[in-house]
């Protein structure tokens, strides 16, 4: 794997002088085309051994291209804020938008490799990390991102020489730290673990390019030329081919479905409701204030028919919570900024930190509901979304997040009654729009989408709860109770 | 995940009578089109809980379609022969060729799930199994196969009822075994582990379809209709979209490459050669007869320039081996049968069993060498082959196979000398063809392909050895020595 990067590659000054201007011009042109077309984002990872010239390579790239459209992200020790979110959160928030190039100086590979070398992470966890990375990069590629990963390599001998040389020069001495020498002692372990990580994540849609780091001219030209070729090849594609899918979900042959199973007769009298409300709100208050909750967080997802009472249910939730410790994210159409990112980006940025509660009024399930039914995304897009969402929720859950998902169900007749009521009540008129009426006409299509969603994403780690919302009192209590019970089970 | 499969689906006799004939006819038509076009193979997995009607579903499918073009494969306990190969071997040899439908009654999911439930397999191993399954199914889909996975489900209550019912009827009593009741006791563990396996492997290119098993009419129709829709959708595609790739390998900018690093001056005098030959052949004989080798096997891959001496090297190897314990596979163009299968199929069938040696005179690397250079496969195909090959070799190595890969290198001048010599020697004339001369003209293209191959597939688990083959004596000893040393390290 690293053989070619130990042959002693080098480019002499004269040859470099001949090649560089053309490369520079071509890179600028390609970058301009990327910027204009906004067809994809470019994710460039610069990884490799200490002293192999990662920083210099990044500097070369930014000096060759227009640095205003390159986002360079360095990743050192995670900040407090980053540690309070699932590990991939810091990388999601650093993703470049379409039209830009993001250079990741250090990446999602660093921590798993270091932790495995130092023994802080076991075998099962390491395998799991590599799986998550493969899913993540596959998702980026499916979303149209161009993913390029460079590994700058030095042989054992070359690394020693390089570290000494940097140390001997007063102007570069600061660059060699104690940790560099400590890592150097573990050169072979690092090499072995890295080789394995590279092997398991070297896929055609996100390949590793291993570059010898010793000679700066060779290294920078190789990285630059590879980037240029990949940019040009991608610009030449009209569309990124979407993954093949094997089957569309089949509508239930006997017209029986999950939603039909929900007993809409369930009711709660007002007096019972008020008593229960107080009880469960109190319980939620205690649960979210327990010491254990500081190391966990709660995500509550609310989906449901228009006028099913999502807002009302959420308002009954919050009195049990400390106002400083929760966020409500009402999800509408994506903003311009969000449309330039992979689909899940806008949800990653809203994930609650440890000790917090994130309430989503509509959510990432929009892709397999409204976007599917209204044709806002392609068939291939919503079909692969089921597994992407499951991967996403797995990352939350394995970080310690409790994920509760509610579908608020009612009958079309009850919905109509509520629509009419809203129309007639002045202070509720704003709640009913043309779109609501249109969605209502597509009830059967939405019904199918909801059933498929539950089938594919109600998992053992993050199950759906179908809530009978014909009676608002009943629905609100059911939700509070489910939340409390799931939390209790998780906090132990 | 299993919610929809517990709602009590059923289809009455009359409705079934109306739907079945049309489905049957349409399935036959689709099967005929599949057979004629030979555009893809269909891999259908029927999994699920005991008593959910797996066998009956398979019977329904074979009775609806032409059973001569359906291959039904049941998988019970692995045979001795199967246990002597990596776990996936038994499934590779059961794959249907293009144009046919293979129904897997039991599959690559069974063993991992059962072993995890019974605790025979740990967490890391289970995660690794699921990774391998994902890679395998992705490869099948990329090779154009249609992969459909059905999970027949019964609720806890329904399963108990079903087992009792089968037992009470004298004609079906034999179908309920002690193991079925034993498994039933672990219903919840099975459900939990299965749910996780299904979640992590439910991908758009190979989706899980969960079907309630209780009512035979509903179950069979649902499976049949899903299969029909998927077949028709696939037949309607002109080509399966190939995965996107991010970058082509870049030729070395300073024209320095790995092959150039091989010191072709290395020689061995005849007397030294004969002494060394005896020494290493003896050592190989002892190593492959050690008791530990019974639980391992050896795969030796020979690639190299035409006339570099692969055949001669292989002949120097075999005197050290027991003739009953090795196979030599000379790899030429695939046969018609092999062309109807995924690329790696013909190599899987030739893998040595435990205690045996498999020698490959050319190998699966053809895809990234001759097929790449001569354009026998698409760019997307050879680009994804690197990771597919790495996955393939990982399965061998984790099973205990020692994988040694040799590239025999010589200079173009020495090759020419050998070509001329062959032409002039009567008994060697058959060894030189027009094709050899043509390949020679494409030396630089092959050189690039070899370097890329080594870069991408010389891994920590299965490294390449570049052999200086300018001098045949030197090459043969180098190969024998490398084999012995790698074996020694592995046997401990």
Q: Which of B64, B60, B57 is nearest to B24 (CA)?
A: B64
Contacts of B146 in chain A (CB under 8 A): 246
Residues of chain B with pLDDT > 70, as a percent, come to: 99
Mean pLDDT computed over A134-151: 92
A162 or B28, which is more confident?
B28
Q: What is the pLDDT of residues B111-139, one digit of tens each?
A: 999 999 999 999 888 988 999 999 999 99
CB nearest B246 (choices: A3, A122, A147): A147
Dist CA B206 CA B194 (whole Å): 16
| CB–CB contacts below 8 A, A to B | 220
How big is chain B, counted in residues?
492
> Please, are residues A5 and A199 in contact by the beta-carbon 8 Å criterion?
no
> Please, are residues B288 and A43 in contact by the beta-carbon 8 Å criterion?
no
Dist CA B158 CA A201 (whole Å): 43
> Please, are residues B428 and B489 in contact by the beta-carbon 8 Å criterion?
no
Sequence-ordered list of residues with C-beta below 8 angstroms from that of B25, at least 6 positions apart, any chain? none
Cross-chain Cβ contact B455/A4 below 8 Å: yes
Domain ranges of chain B: 3-236, 258-491
Dist CA B163 CA B182 (whole Å): 12
pLDDT at A149: 94
Q: What is the pLDDT of residues A189-228, one digit of tens each?
A: 999 999 889 988 998 889 999 999 999 999 999 999 999 9
Residues of chain A with pLDDT > 90, as a percent, come to: 61
> Please, are residues B345 and B102 in contact by the beta-carbon 8 Å criterion?
no
A242, pLDDT greater than 80: no
Cross-chain Cβ contact A455/B19 below 8 Å: no
> Please, are residues A221 and A11 in contact by the beta-carbon 8 Å criterion?
yes
Same fold, A3-236 and A258-491: yes
Cross-chain Cβ contact B9/A252 below 8 Å: yes
| Residue of chain A with shortest Cα separation from B215 | A254
Mean pLDDT computed over B301-319: 94
From the candidate CATH numbers 3.90.420.10, 3.40.50.1100, 3.40.50.300, 1.10.8.100, the one assigned to the domain spanning B258-491:
3.40.50.300
A39 CA: distance to closest CA in chain B (Å): 14
CB nearest B250 (choices: A1, A195, A226): A226
Cross-chain Cβ contact A458/B218 below 8 Å: no
pLDDT at B427: 66
pLDDT at B320: 83
Choice among A437-441, B291-295, B477-481 with the minimum mean pLDDT: A437-441
| Residue of chain B with shortest Cα separation from A131 | B131
Q: What is the pLDDT of residues A217-234, one digit of tens each?
A: 999 999 999 999 999 989
- Residue A429 — pLDDT band, cuts 50, 70, 90? low
| Residue of chain B with shortest Cα separation from A463 | B1
Cross-chain Cβ contact A256/B11 below 8 Å: no
Contacts of A261 in chain B (CB under 8 A): 7
> Please, are residues A148 and A61 in contact by the beta-carbon 8 Å criterion?
no
CB nearest A148 (choices: B192, B243, B247): B247
> Please, are residues B349 and B334 in contact by the beta-carbon 8 Å criterion?
no
Phi-psi region of A279 (alpha: psi -120 to 50; beta: other; left: phi over 0): alpha
Cross-chain Cβ contact B148/A247 below 8 Å: yes
Q: What is the pLDDT of residues B384-436, one digit of tens each?
A: 899 899 999 999 998 999 999 999 999 999 999 998 888 887 666 666 677 77
Dist CA A437 CA A439 (whole Å): 6
> Please, are residues A294 and A325 in contact by the beta-carbon 8 Å criterion?
no
B459 CA: distance to closest CA in chain A (Å): 5
Mean pLDDT computed over A127-139: 91
Contacts of B387 in chain A (CB under 8 A): 202-204
CB nearest A205 (choices: B200, B205, B245): B245
Contacts of A248 in chain B (CB under 8 A): 229, 233
Dist CA B165 CA B52 (whole Å): 12
Query: Is domain B3-236 in CATH 1.20.970.10, yes or no?
Result: no
Structure tokens that stand for A377 in this block: 């995304």
Sequence-ordered list of residues with C-beta below 8 angstroms from that of B123, at least 6 positions apart, any chain? A124
φ, ψ of residue A277 in degrees (nearest 5)? -55, -50
Cross-chain Cβ contact B3/A233 below 8 Å: no
CB nearest A451 (choices: B4, B386, B460): B4
pLDDT at B250: 78
* A141 DSSP 8-state letter: H
A298, pLDDT greater than 70: yes
pLDDT at A48: 92
* B206 DSSP 8-state letter: B
A430, pLDDT greater than 80: no
């Amino acid at each position: 794997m690293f053989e070619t990067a130990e042959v002693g590659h080098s480019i002499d000054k004269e040859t470099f002088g001949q090649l560089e201007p053309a490369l520079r011009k071509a890179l600028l042109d390609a970058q301009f085309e990327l910027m204009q077309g906004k067809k994809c984002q470019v994710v460039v990872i610069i990884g490799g051994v200490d002293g192999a010239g990662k920083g210099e390579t990044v500097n070369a790239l930014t000096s060759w291209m227009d640095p205003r459209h390159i986002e360079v992200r360095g990743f050192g020790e995670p900040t407090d804020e980053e540690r309070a979110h699932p590990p991939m959160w810091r990388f999601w928030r650093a993703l470049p938008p379409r039209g830009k190039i993001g250079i990741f100086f250090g990446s999602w590979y660093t921590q798993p490799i270091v932790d495995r070398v130092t023994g802080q992470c076991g075998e099962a966890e390491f395998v799991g990390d590599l799986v998550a990375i493969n899913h993540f990069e596959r998702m980026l590629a499916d979303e149209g991102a161009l993913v390029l990963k460079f590994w700058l390599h030095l042989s054992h001998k070359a690394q020693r020489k390089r570290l000494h040389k940097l140390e001997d020069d007063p102007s570069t001495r600061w660059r060699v730290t104690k940790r560099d020498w400590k890592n150097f002692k573990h050169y072979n372990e690092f090499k072995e673990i890295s080789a394995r990580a590279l092997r398991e994540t070297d896929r055609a849609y996100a390949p590793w390019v291993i570059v010898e780091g010793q000679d700066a001219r060779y290294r920078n030209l190789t990285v630059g030329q590879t980037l240029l070729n990949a940019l040009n090849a991608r610009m030449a594609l009209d569309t990124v081919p979407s993954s093949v899918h094997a089957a569309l979900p089949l509508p239930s042959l006997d017209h029986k479905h999950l939603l039909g199973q929900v007993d809409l007769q369930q009711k709660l009298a007002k007096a019972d409701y008020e008593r229960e409300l107080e009880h469960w709100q109190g319980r939620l208050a205690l649960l979210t204030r327990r010491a254990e909750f500081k190391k966990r967080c709660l995500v509550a997802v609310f989906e449901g028919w228009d006028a099913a009472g999502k807002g009302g249910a959420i308002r009954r939730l919050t009195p049990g919570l400390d106002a400083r410790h929760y966020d409500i994210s009402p999800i509408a159409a994506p903003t311009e900024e969000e449309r330039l990112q992979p689909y899940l980006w806008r949800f990653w940025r809203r994930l609650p930190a440890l000790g917090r509660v994130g309430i989503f009024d509509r959510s990432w399930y929009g892709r397999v509901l409204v976007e599917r039914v209204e044709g806002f995304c392609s068939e291939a897009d919503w079909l692969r979304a089921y597994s992407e969402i499951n991967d996403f929720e797995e990352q939350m859950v394995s970080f310690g997040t409790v994920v509760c998902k509610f579908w608020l169900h009612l009958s079309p007749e009850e919905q109509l009654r509520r629509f009419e009521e809203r129309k007639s009540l002045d202070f509720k008129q704003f709640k009913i729009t043309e779109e609501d009426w249109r969605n209502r006409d597509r009830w059967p299509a939405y019904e199918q989408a909801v059933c498929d969603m539950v089938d594919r994403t109600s998992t053992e780690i993050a199950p759906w709860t179908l809530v009978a919302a014909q009676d608002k009192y009943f629905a609100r209590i059911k939700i509070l109770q489910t939340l409390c019970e799931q939390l209790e089970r998780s906090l132990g």
